[in-house]
Amino acid sequence: MTPSPRATVVLLSGLLLLGGWLRMHDLDDKLVWHDEIATVILAAGYSIDEWKQALYTGEVVDVDAVHHFQRLNRDRSVGDAIAELARHDPQHPPMYYLLASSWVRAVGEGIGRLRTLSVLASLLGLFAMFQLTWELARSRRVAWLATGALAVSPFFVLYAQEAREYSLWATLILATTGALLRAIRKTEERPSIPIGAWALYGLLTVASLYTSFSSAAVILGQVLFVFLRVKGRPDRMSLSAAGTLAIAALAFLPWALNLLRNYEAFEASMRWSKEIVIPTTSLLRIFALNLSRPFVDFWADLETLPAWIGVLAAVALCLWAVVSLVRELPWERTLLVLCVLILPTAIHLVPDLLFGGIRSLSTRYLTPTLLMLLVSMAWLVGSPQRRPNVAKGLGAVLLAVMVASSVHNNRQEVVWSKGVSASLPDVARVLNASERPLLVAGIEAHTPGNMLALSTRLDPGTKLQFLRIPDERAYELVEHDGDLYFLGPNVLLRQRLEEREQVRFELLLEDLFVQLWKAHPAK
């Protein structure tokens, strides 16, 4: 027996309302982590050089000196923020950061208000998902199921609460793919070329490119789809698509040239993805975990039997969903899902398997793949070819697990996506419980960003000392009448202080990215 229209409306309305609540819940209190603090500072109007030159002097400063760079500077324009991005962070195109800078000026500063921009972008993604799945499946049931699933998907709820560009990018992936299908449909239905439909696809493609360079992989998937659909023979549709993408490429050319001019900064920022090498078995294990995250997300890693069972079940369900889509939908629509799913995945995974690296392990870069898996799963549950009892049971279990995962993540102090800064709440508790603490930090690796993120949790009056590498070589303990701590000091600095000043170091906290040491000077 199929569910009544009224019951379906109630269920989907509940999912959409729950998805909105999950996205807005505790926006002010969630951990501000390493990457987000860069958005906060850029949106406030400051450059990387400015805050580093002001803070990395070797002088002891109050935590309020760090907060200064997180408050809106109305003497700076949005253009200043974009110019700074172009010089020092060219791998991040300016669309989201232009919006973030404008948003802060319009609604005010504060991490909760800034994150609301990502929430709004994520909610727009629900409309884009409905449009795409309607074009694909021509079924309102499938379209509403896909929209409801996106609303409560744990992965997409997490990134909807983050002051970064990934929520906007996910929305634009859905919007461009749906707009392409719409333009093709209208081209085939009408004797004249639907210029408006192709213009919409072009504008959304430009916006997508100006949001993330990874959009290039999605566009390549769309190009491959068009090429295979016409079997390499140019026709009215394929020529319209080619012309639209050529104009989009020209529109993106200024930032592409900027990337070439600042290629060294880009290469340095992405070096980690090539240089870190892990065993192939570990790579595939984490990759499988990442594929499961839109559906089940209770575990940071595969360390327990329930985690293995949950992840393997989710991956198996994904494979079933994709196979069902291929077998049951017309190939000219299925092909687009496959191209957008497979090509971006291959671009990240294949180099890791052949040459080493961890490009494929940053889950956010797999956003196109995860979106297409959600689309496939909606077809698996909502297809008219599925037996009603099977569809109802599968859909109920799947949505229940997704909701439970999102609620679970919402209750966590730190989630897996903020691993670089996972220990900062613990560091803050140690310092805030200490009497007149002074925290000393260097400039290596993630320490600068983590220091700024940590500052958002420190009590007023906490003292900080930022050391450049030359400062570390000649560093001597300052006169301080409170507790002395070091965040991730390098080994040479600790050895010099131990030998020269007989300082004893006590390790209080440690993970892959953060170490907190307490220094006990010789009496």
Residue ranges per structural domain of the chain: 5-28+110-419
Q: Token pair for residue 367?
A: 């956003």
Q: How far is CA 345 from CA 82, 218, 221, 285, 367, in A?
A: 30, 10, 10, 15, 9
φ/ψ region of 502 (left if φ > 0, alpha if ψ in -120 to 50, else beta) reads left
Residue 231 vs residues 226, 227, 506: alpha-carbon distances, Å = 8, 6, 67
Lowest-pLDDT range of 54-63, 313-322, 471-480: 471-480
Per DSSP bridges, beta strands 515-520 and 60-62 are: unpaired
Q: Tell me what percent of the residues of the chain surpass a pLDDT of 70.
A: 97
Instruction: Give tens-digit pLDDT for 56-70.
Output: 999 999 999 999 999
CB atoms within 10 A of CB 78: 18
- Cα separation, 312 vs 75, whole angstroms: 53
How far does Cα 165 stand from its chain's mean position? 7
State the pLDDT at residue 4: 59
- Give pLDDT tens digits for 179-214: 999 999 999 998 889 999 999 999 999 999 999 999
- Tens of pLDDT along 340-397? 999 999 998 998 888 888 888 889 999 999 999 999 999 999 888 888 887 888 999 9
Dist. CA 443–CA 418, nearest whole Å: 20
Distances 266 to 87, 133, 213, 247, 262 between C-alpha atoms, Å:
10, 36, 11, 25, 7
Distance CA 198, CA 189 (A): 14
pLDDT at 1 over 50: no
504 φ, ψ (degrees, to nearest 5): -105, 130
HSE-CB of 134 using CA atoms within 13 angstroms: 12
pLDDT digits (tens, 9 = 90+) for 220-239: 999 999 999 999 889 999 99
Average pLDDT of 431-456?
Answer: 94
The residue-averaged pLDDT of 289-314 equals 95
Q: Name the token pair of 320.
A: 């079933």
Count CB neighbours of 377 within 10 A. Answer: 28
pTM: 0.94
